[in-house]
Every structure is written in C-alpha cells, then in structure tokens.
Amino acid sequence: MTHHLTPRPAPRPRVFCAIVPPHILTRLSESSNPAHAEAARRTLAADAAHRSARIAVATRTATADSHAGAAADAAADTSADSPQRTIYDAQHRTVLPGKKVRGEGDAASKDASVNRAYAGLGATYDLYHKVFGRRSIDGAGMPLPASVHYDRKYDNAFWDGERMVFGDGDGDLFLDFTIPVDVIGHELSHGFTQHTANLAYYGQSGALNESVSDVFGSLVKQYALGQTAADADWLIGEGLLGPAVDKGVALRSMKAPGTAYDDDVLGKDPQPATMDHYVRTGSDNGGVHVNSGIPNHAFYLLATELGGSAWERAGRIWYDVMTGGTLSEDATFAEFARATVASARSLFGDGGAENEAVLKAWSTVGVPTG
C-alpha cells in the first residue's frame, strides 16, 4: 500500500470537545438533588478550565505546530500500519495524562475501564484504516493516548486536541464513559476533523464538526459490530445513562433527533431533525450540540436509503468531503450539502443511486443543495 501524507491545514487553535452537551450539565447543576447538582457543577468547572487552557496555549502551539508539522509527519510515516495506543490512569486527579498503565501490545489490565478504552481506540483506528485507508486520525500514524479515571464523579469524556480523557461518571446519572464505543469514536473523530477540514467550532460549522463526530462514532460502532444501516440503532451514547434517568436511551438519536431522552432529570432532548426547527442561540458556541441533529439526520436518511453497510457508500461520501480540501473552515450546512452532492457524483457517477439519495436526504431535512 502506498501512503501519502495528508496536507496539514493552517493552524487553528485546538478546541475542547466533550460528549455531554453543556445544556444537560447546566440543567443538572440546578437540580434539587444535591448529589446530582454537585456532580454537574464539578464537571462544568472542569470543562471550563479545559476550554480556558485551550485558548491560553493556542498562540504558542499554533506557531510550534506550523514548524514541527512536516517533520512529525515524516517521522510518523515510518511507523507500522497499526494503532499506537497508550492508556494512562489519572487516578481521580485532574493532572494529565496520569500514570501509564497499558501500552500497545501489552496484556489486558485488571481494570475494565483501561481495557475498554484500549479496545475503543483500536476500533476507531480500524474503521479509519481498514475502511478508508487512513493511518490514524491524522493520516500519518498519530499515536492515540487516553486517560481514564479523570477526576471524581466527572460526568463527561473529551478530546483536548492531543488525547482522549474519560470520566467515571457519578454512577447515578452517568456510568463510566468508556462503556459506549461510539463515544470513543466520536471524540477521536474530533481529531480527524482537526487534521482535515478543521471546521470552526461555532454556529453551523461547529454543528457540522459535532455531526461529523457523531457520524464516524456511529460508524465505528457499526463496523465493530458488523451491523448494516438497517441493523444499527443510530444512537450516540447508548448504555451511558445511569439508573436515575427513567426516560432516556442515549445522548442523541440520528434516526429521530429530539427523542433520545424526555426525562424529569435530564429534561427534553432539544435536537431538531430539520431546518424548520433550527435553534438560534448564543449558548454552546451557537448551539453546536443541538443543531448537529440536522446533518446527523441527513446522514441517517442517506445511509438507510442506500442500505448495506453505512461506511461503504454514505460514509465514503462524508470521508471524501472531509478530506477533499474543498470545504471552508466556516462551512454552512448548505456548503457541506453541496460538497456531498459533488462527492457522490465524483465517486459513483451522475446517474447513480447515491446521487439521488444524497439530494433526497438533504431535501428532507430542509438544507438546499442547488
């Protein structure tokens, strides 16, 4: 196999991307249950600290990245076609990465969180490498570090531009964040976006950033389980919600945005499925976790219309758009949709079922393609 290094885009400050949206944590922080409120407040405080840290280092890392990028890629390209995973134990502290507990090829740990993280990183690597021929999330063999047991009762998992970090959850609202493999695929896919289209994390481009992570996170799960588009549940974070949540199945549903939960504790899932209900807000970077439901639903409609394995055609179109170099960093839904139409034509021809299905999917969610 011949490998080509992926061109490195102009540096943009790395962003902090977490799986549990701020609107859920904010609601929980106001809960009448003291334990729920405390866990949410701790999580919000930790997330705010990480966001500030990302901004603080942006200037110096952007300069360093621009000079070191080519050399790093050249060095990475000599590595084997296999994941380079390292799992650390943060030991319930907030200093990262923590103590190294498992390296690539090491025997399984007695710690289930360590083993799930290791397996999830491998499943994500496998999708990108075996399906799309991509060597890790940056296309050049990037190592995949992760830290488990972050903080105490930390109700989130995040990608900080360099590594994956998992909380244990509080055990009541949220369980261990290493449990759903699509959560791992989602967060690592923020790294994929960081090294490809580099979509700005605000407004519609930010919602696309989140949606792309949901798309590839779901594909990681489907590929690992050998599921067709018809077999898949199209849920993000299924198995994550704890016993205190009575009416909820996951964090998001790509099949039916707005239906993942409707619960006295979590509230009502606010995701729209179409542009008719697009949410205009200044919170959560312009609603990136909410409005991502619209492109999510378009992908679901495309994948199920085409049938078979979602990564073979629908996933190939999305991957081609992300790596094709045609998207602006501030891409709108319409720009992304037009790019998928062009990709479908390029990959499968004007008269193919793929082209018609792409047009139908975006039309159904109300995003123009012409």
The residues that are catalytic are 187, 289
How far apart CA 297 and CA 137 sit, in angstroms, is: 24
Q: How many CB atoms lie within 10 A of CB 57?
A: 14
Burial class (CB in 10 A: 0-12, 13-18, 19+), 77: middle
293: closest CA among 199, 231, 215? Answer: 215
How distant, in Å, are the alpha carbons of 25, 27, 98, 263 from that of 34? 14, 13, 29, 18
Among all chains, which residue has been given the structure tokens 């190939």?
Answer: 316
Q: Are 186 and 264 in contact (CB under 8 A)?
A: no
How far apart CA 163 and CA 148 sit, in angstroms, is: 11
222: closest CA among 123, 108, 90? Answer: 123
Burial class (CB in 10 A: 0-12, 13-18, 19+), 289: buried
| CB within 8 Å of 17: residues ≥ 6 apart | 158, 159, 187, 190, 201, 209, 210, 213
Alpha helices for the chain (secondary structure H): 22-29, 34-76, 112-126, 181-194, 203-225, 284-287, 293-306, 314-323, 333-348, 353-365
Cross-strand pairs, 263: 267
